[in-house]
Amino acid sequence: MNGKLLLAGIGGQGVLFAHQLLARCAAEQGYDVTGAETHGMSQRGGAVVSHVKIRSPSSPQPAPSGQLGDAPLIRQGTADFLIAFAETEALRALPFLRRGGTLVVNTASPRFLDDMTRAGLDEHVTVRALDAMAIAERLGRRSVANVVLLGFASTCRAFPLTGDALRAALQGHGSKSWQSNLQAFDEGVRAGSDPHEPSH
Protein backbone atom coordinates (compact mmCIF):
# COMPACT_ATOMS: atom_id res chain seq x y z
CA MET A 1 0.00 0.00 0.00
CA ASN A 2 1.38 3.38 -0.99
CA GLY A 3 0.03 6.70 0.07
CA LYS A 4 0.54 10.43 0.27
CA LEU A 5 -1.03 12.11 3.27
CA LEU A 6 -1.13 15.83 3.76
CA LEU A 7 -1.84 17.14 7.27
CA ALA A 8 -3.01 20.72 7.64
CA GLY A 9 -3.72 22.72 10.74
CA ILE A 10 -2.76 25.66 12.87
CA GLY A 11 0.38 25.88 15.00
CA GLY A 12 -0.41 24.40 18.42
CA GLN A 13 -2.99 21.90 17.17
CA GLY A 14 -0.67 18.91 17.32
CA VAL A 15 0.04 18.51 13.62
CA LEU A 16 3.65 17.52 14.36
CA PHE A 17 2.50 14.85 16.82
CA ALA A 18 0.14 13.41 14.22
CA HIS A 19 2.92 13.39 11.62
CA GLN A 20 5.32 11.61 13.93
CA LEU A 21 2.74 9.02 14.86
CA LEU A 22 1.86 8.23 11.24
CA ALA A 23 5.53 8.07 10.23
CA ARG A 24 6.50 5.81 13.10
CA CYS A 25 3.54 3.55 12.53
CA ALA A 26 4.35 3.25 8.82
CA ALA A 27 7.94 2.31 9.60
CA GLU A 28 6.79 -0.26 12.16
CA GLN A 29 4.66 -1.79 9.43
CA GLY A 30 7.75 -2.19 7.28
CA TYR A 31 7.07 0.72 4.94
CA ASP A 32 9.52 3.31 3.74
CA VAL A 33 8.41 6.70 4.93
CA THR A 34 9.49 10.19 4.10
CA GLY A 35 7.96 13.62 4.51
CA ALA A 36 8.32 17.23 5.55
CA GLU A 37 7.41 19.11 8.72
CA THR A 38 6.92 22.80 9.52
CA HIS A 39 8.98 24.30 12.35
CA GLY A 40 10.03 27.72 13.53
CA MET A 41 8.41 31.08 12.97
CA SER A 42 5.43 29.65 11.14
CA GLN A 43 4.59 27.48 14.14
CA ARG A 44 3.48 30.48 16.19
CA GLY A 45 -0.21 30.20 15.41
CA GLY A 46 0.44 30.13 11.67
CA ALA A 47 -0.84 27.70 9.06
CA VAL A 48 1.08 24.42 9.38
CA VAL A 49 1.22 21.67 6.78
CA SER A 50 2.97 18.34 7.11
CA HIS A 51 3.69 15.99 4.23
CA VAL A 52 3.77 12.23 4.87
CA LYS A 53 4.65 9.77 2.10
CA ILE A 54 4.37 6.06 2.72
CA ARG A 55 5.77 3.53 0.28
CA SER A 56 5.99 -0.18 0.45
CA PRO A 57 9.57 -1.13 -0.39
CA SER A 58 8.55 -4.50 -1.80
CA SER A 59 5.96 -3.22 -4.26
CA PRO A 60 7.45 -0.82 -6.74
CA GLN A 61 4.12 -0.38 -8.56
CA PRO A 62 3.02 3.23 -8.61
CA ALA A 63 0.29 4.50 -6.31
CA PRO A 64 -2.78 6.08 -7.91
CA SER A 65 -1.05 9.34 -7.16
CA GLY A 66 2.10 8.44 -9.01
CA GLN A 67 5.52 7.07 -8.19
CA LEU A 68 6.85 7.68 -4.70
CA GLY A 69 10.49 8.45 -4.27
CA ASP A 70 12.50 10.14 -1.57
CA ALA A 71 11.28 13.68 -2.16
CA PRO A 72 9.87 15.10 1.06
CA LEU A 73 7.13 17.27 -0.46
CA ILE A 74 3.82 16.21 -1.98
CA ARG A 75 2.98 18.05 -5.17
CA GLN A 76 -0.34 19.82 -5.45
CA GLY A 77 -3.05 17.66 -6.95
CA THR A 78 -1.46 14.37 -5.89
CA ALA A 79 -2.28 13.76 -2.20
CA ASP A 80 -4.44 10.71 -1.52
CA PHE A 81 -5.62 12.05 1.82
CA LEU A 82 -5.91 15.53 3.23
CA ILE A 83 -6.35 15.44 7.01
CA ALA A 84 -7.30 18.90 8.16
CA PHE A 85 -7.48 19.89 11.81
CA ALA A 86 -9.33 23.12 11.00
CA GLU A 87 -11.86 24.00 8.34
CA THR A 88 -9.98 27.00 7.00
CA GLU A 89 -6.84 24.91 6.67
CA ALA A 90 -8.78 22.20 4.82
CA LEU A 91 -9.77 24.73 2.23
CA ARG A 92 -6.32 26.30 2.11
CA ALA A 93 -4.65 22.94 1.54
CA LEU A 94 -7.32 21.64 -0.84
CA PRO A 95 -5.12 22.17 -3.93
CA PHE A 96 -2.92 19.33 -2.68
CA LEU A 97 -5.70 16.75 -2.91
CA ARG A 98 -5.90 14.63 -6.03
CA ARG A 99 -9.04 13.81 -7.95
CA GLY A 100 -10.57 10.81 -6.19
CA GLY A 101 -8.78 11.62 -2.94
CA THR A 102 -10.32 11.88 0.51
CA LEU A 103 -10.66 14.95 2.70
CA VAL A 104 -10.92 14.26 6.42
CA VAL A 105 -11.79 17.41 8.28
CA ASN A 106 -12.37 18.52 11.85
CA THR A 107 -15.24 20.95 11.77
CA ALA A 108 -17.97 22.08 14.12
CA SER A 109 -20.02 23.38 11.25
CA PRO A 110 -22.67 21.01 9.90
CA ARG A 111 -22.82 23.29 6.87
CA PHE A 112 -19.34 22.37 5.75
CA LEU A 113 -20.49 19.38 3.70
CA ASP A 114 -23.25 21.40 2.07
CA ASP A 115 -20.75 24.07 1.12
CA MET A 116 -18.50 21.47 -0.45
CA THR A 117 -21.44 20.05 -2.37
CA ARG A 118 -22.45 23.45 -3.57
CA ALA A 119 -18.95 24.06 -4.84
CA GLY A 120 -19.23 20.76 -6.70
CA LEU A 121 -16.16 19.31 -5.02
CA ASP A 122 -17.86 16.25 -3.59
CA GLU A 123 -18.16 14.90 -7.12
CA HIS A 124 -14.39 14.53 -7.25
CA VAL A 125 -13.36 13.87 -3.68
CA THR A 126 -14.76 12.00 -0.71
CA VAL A 127 -15.38 14.33 2.20
CA ARG A 128 -15.57 12.99 5.74
CA ALA A 129 -16.20 15.52 8.46
CA LEU A 130 -16.16 15.12 12.21
CA ASP A 131 -16.45 17.49 15.14
CA ALA A 132 -13.33 16.04 16.75
CA MET A 133 -13.05 18.97 19.14
CA ALA A 134 -16.47 18.24 20.62
CA ILE A 135 -15.42 14.64 21.25
CA ALA A 136 -12.13 15.77 22.78
CA GLU A 137 -14.04 18.16 25.00
CA ARG A 138 -16.33 15.37 26.07
CA LEU A 139 -13.20 13.43 27.04
CA GLY A 140 -12.05 16.42 29.05
CA ARG A 141 -8.90 17.09 27.03
CA ARG A 142 -9.15 19.45 24.11
CA SER A 143 -5.56 18.71 23.17
CA VAL A 144 -6.44 15.17 21.97
CA ALA A 145 -8.67 16.40 19.15
CA ASN A 146 -5.84 15.59 16.73
CA VAL A 147 -5.77 11.96 17.86
CA VAL A 148 -9.57 11.69 17.63
CA LEU A 149 -9.36 12.85 14.03
CA LEU A 150 -6.63 10.32 13.25
CA GLY A 151 -8.79 7.52 14.63
CA PHE A 152 -11.62 8.75 12.44
CA ALA A 153 -9.32 8.93 9.39
CA SER A 154 -8.15 5.37 9.93
CA THR A 155 -11.66 4.14 9.14
CA CYS A 156 -11.55 5.66 5.66
CA ARG A 157 -11.45 3.31 2.72
CA ALA A 158 -7.91 2.82 1.38
CA PHE A 159 -6.28 4.55 4.34
CA PRO A 160 -2.72 3.18 4.19
CA LEU A 161 -2.46 2.35 7.90
CA THR A 162 -4.91 0.24 9.89
CA GLY A 163 -6.47 1.29 13.16
CA ASP A 164 -4.73 -1.57 14.93
CA ALA A 165 -1.33 -0.54 13.63
CA LEU A 166 -1.92 3.04 14.72
CA ARG A 167 -3.08 1.92 18.15
CA ALA A 168 0.11 -0.09 18.53
CA ALA A 169 2.18 2.92 17.52
CA LEU A 170 0.33 5.11 20.02
CA GLN A 171 1.01 2.62 22.78
CA GLY A 172 4.67 2.44 21.93
CA HIS A 173 5.02 6.19 21.60
CA GLY A 174 6.46 6.55 25.06
CA SER A 175 4.36 9.59 25.90
CA LYS A 176 2.98 9.83 29.41
CA SER A 177 -0.53 10.38 28.16
CA TRP A 178 -0.75 7.37 25.86
CA GLN A 179 -3.76 6.02 27.69
CA SER A 180 -5.88 9.09 27.14
CA ASN A 181 -4.55 9.24 23.59
CA LEU A 182 -5.69 5.68 23.03
CA GLN A 183 -9.11 6.49 24.38
CA ALA A 184 -9.32 9.50 22.07
CA PHE A 185 -8.21 7.39 19.12
CA ASP A 186 -10.85 4.77 19.82
CA GLU A 187 -13.53 7.45 20.05
CA GLY A 188 -12.46 8.64 16.62
CA VAL A 189 -12.62 5.11 15.25
CA ARG A 190 -16.08 4.65 16.76
CA ALA A 191 -17.30 7.89 15.20
CA GLY A 192 -15.96 6.72 11.86
CA SER A 193 -17.60 3.32 12.01
CA ASP A 194 -20.91 4.33 13.60
CA PRO A 195 -23.42 5.67 11.10
CA HIS A 196 -25.46 7.28 13.91
CA GLU A 197 -22.65 9.37 15.28
CA PRO A 198 -23.14 12.97 14.20
CA SER A 199 -20.18 12.92 11.84
CA HIS A 200 -22.26 15.21 9.65
Partner 1 sequence: MTQAVVLGNEAIARGLIEAGVQVMTAYPGTPSSEILPAVLTWKRRLQLNIHVEWSVNEKVALEVALGASWAGKRAAVAMKQVGLNVASDALLSAAYTGIVGGLVLIVCDDPGPHSSQTEQDTRLFALFAKVPVLDPATPREAKAMAHAAFTLSEQFRVPVILRPTVRVSHARQNVTLADVAARARPAHFKKEPARWAATPRHRLLLHEELNRKLETVEAAFESSPFNRQSELTARRSPLGVIACGVPYASARELLDEFGVTIPVLKIGTVYPLPRKLASDFVARCETVLVLEEPDAAVELQLPDRRNVHGRLDGTVPNAGELTPEVLHAILARLLTKAALLAPAAPASPWADFAKSLALPARPPRLCPGCSHRSAFYALRRIFPSALYAGDIGCYTLGTNLRAVDTCLDMGASITIATGLYQAYRLNDEQQPIVASIGDSTFLHSGVTGLANAVHTGARFVLVILDNGTTAMTGFQPTADDTRLADGSRGPRVAIPKLVRACGVRYLRESDPYDQGEFRAALEEAAAFTRDDDGGVAVVIARRPCVLYDRSPLDAQPIAVEVTDECDGCKYCLVAFECPSLLLNPATDKVEIDRATCVDCGQCIDGCYKGFIIEKEFASPVPGSLFRTP
Distances (CA, A) of 28 to 58, 86, 110: 15, 28, 36
Distances (CA, A) of 89 to 49, 62, 63, 141: 9, 28, 25, 22
Distances (CA, A) of 74 to 10, 35, 81: 19, 8, 11
Question: Phi and psi at residue 56, in whole multiples of 5°?
Answer: -85, 120
Convert residues 42-81 into a mask of x (bound to partner 1 by CB under 8 A) and - (unbound).
xxxxxx----x---------x---xxxxxxxxxxxxx---
**Distance (Å, whole) CA 104 – CA 115:** 15
Q: Is 91 in the site for partner 1 (CB under 8 A)?
A: yes
Least distance from C-beta 152 to partner 1, angstroms? Answer: 19
User: Which residues inside 156-185 make contact with partner 1, applying CB under 8 A?
Assistant: none
Q: Which of 38, 102, 107, 181 binds partner 1 (CB under 8 A)?
A: 38
Q: Is 16 in the site for partner 1 (CB under 8 A)?
A: yes
**Distance (Å, whole) CA 4 – CA 53:** 5
Per DSSP, the chain holds a count of helices (H) and strands (E) of 7, 6
Q: Is 111 in the site for partner 1 (CB under 8 A)?
A: no
Q: Is 138 in the site for partner 1 (CB under 8 A)?
A: no
Name the segment binding partner 1 (CB under 8 A); options: 14-22, 147-155, 182-190, 191-199.
Answer: 14-22
Q: How many amino acids of this chain bind partner 1 (CB under 8 A)?
A: 62
- Closest Cα to residue 85, out of 169, 18, 22? 18
Task: Please say which residue, 27 or 158, places its beta carbon nearer to partner 1.
Answer: 27
Least distance from C-beta 126 to partner 1, angstroms? Answer: 14
The footprint of partner 1 (CB under 8 A) covers 10-14, 16-17, 19-20, 23-24, 26-27, 31-47, 52, 62, 66-78, 88, 91-92, 94-97, 99, 119, 121, 124, 133, 140-144
